[in-house]
Amino acid sequence: MALNPPALASGFIAPNLAATGNIGSGVPMFSLGIAIGVCQFLTTQSKVMTVDVGTLGVGTGLIPLIVPSPLLSASLTAGIASSGLMGTMAPKFILGLTTGLITGWTALALLQTNHPTVGVGTGVARIVGPTSVPAIISGFSAAGMSGDGPARMARAIGTGIDMTFASFIQPGIPIVGGASPMGSTGVGLGTVF
């Protein structure tokens, strides 16, 4: 299954927000806004870059996006605190959002990579792209949330996403393809889908 807003919102973000006490009629709309922005940022605006080692050849890789929960949680906490939105419900909100995004990414998002100089081996991946803040604001707007309050929350979440992927690396990208007896290193490129 590919990373898409309806599945991420209704299958992962909304249920995890509800499980941590974030309930109300606006949760589905809020979850969809986050999902639209996150999906736009990861699948359209960002690229996957790898550093590879193995044998000479041409290969490809495919692996789920696995982001450590403490990394995302700490980044979202910093983003929300920097926007002045830290309150008594913030820790539960951050836990619900972190769990929803992490489980959603692991279940839905795949890193697809191409490796022009390594046929069989392994790579270490990073996700690089512009800031996610405009994508999250756009997602909120597409879900029907506009104004200063939603824009402030979108900036806080976008800042947390940016901080997460600024320090994120995913080791162990398997590279499969044509092999030779000669060793090789190189860089690969790919996408999140």
| pLDDT for 193 beyond 80 | yes
Per the CB < 8 A criterion, the answer to whether 55 and 183 are in contact is yes
Res 39: pLDDT: 98
Q: Which domain holds residue 53?
A: 5-192
Number of domains comprising the chain: 1
Res 166: pLDDT: 98
What's the mean pLDDT in 98-125? 98
Per the CB < 8 A criterion, the answer to whether 85 and 148 are in contact is no
Give me the helices (H) in 59-116, please. 69-82, 90-108
Res 129: pLDDT: 97
Q: Which amino acid is at 150?
A: P
Segment 2-49, tens digit of pLDDT: 999 999 999 999 999 999 999 999 999 999 999 999 999 999 999 999
- pTM (predicted TM-score): 0.95
The model's confidence at residue 177, banded by pLDDT at 50, 70 and 90, is very high
Res 46: pLDDT: 98
Segment 54-94, tens digit of pLDDT: 999 999 999 999 999 999 999 999 999 999 999 999 999 99
| pLDDT for 153 beyond 90 | yes
| pLDDT for 1 beyond 80 | no
The model's confidence at residue 147, banded by pLDDT at 50, 70 and 90, is very high
Q: What are the beta bridge partners of residue 59?
A: 115, 177
Report CA 148 to chain centroid distance, whole Å.
25
What does the alpha-carbon distance between residue 47 and residue 172 come to, in Å, rounded to a whole number? 18
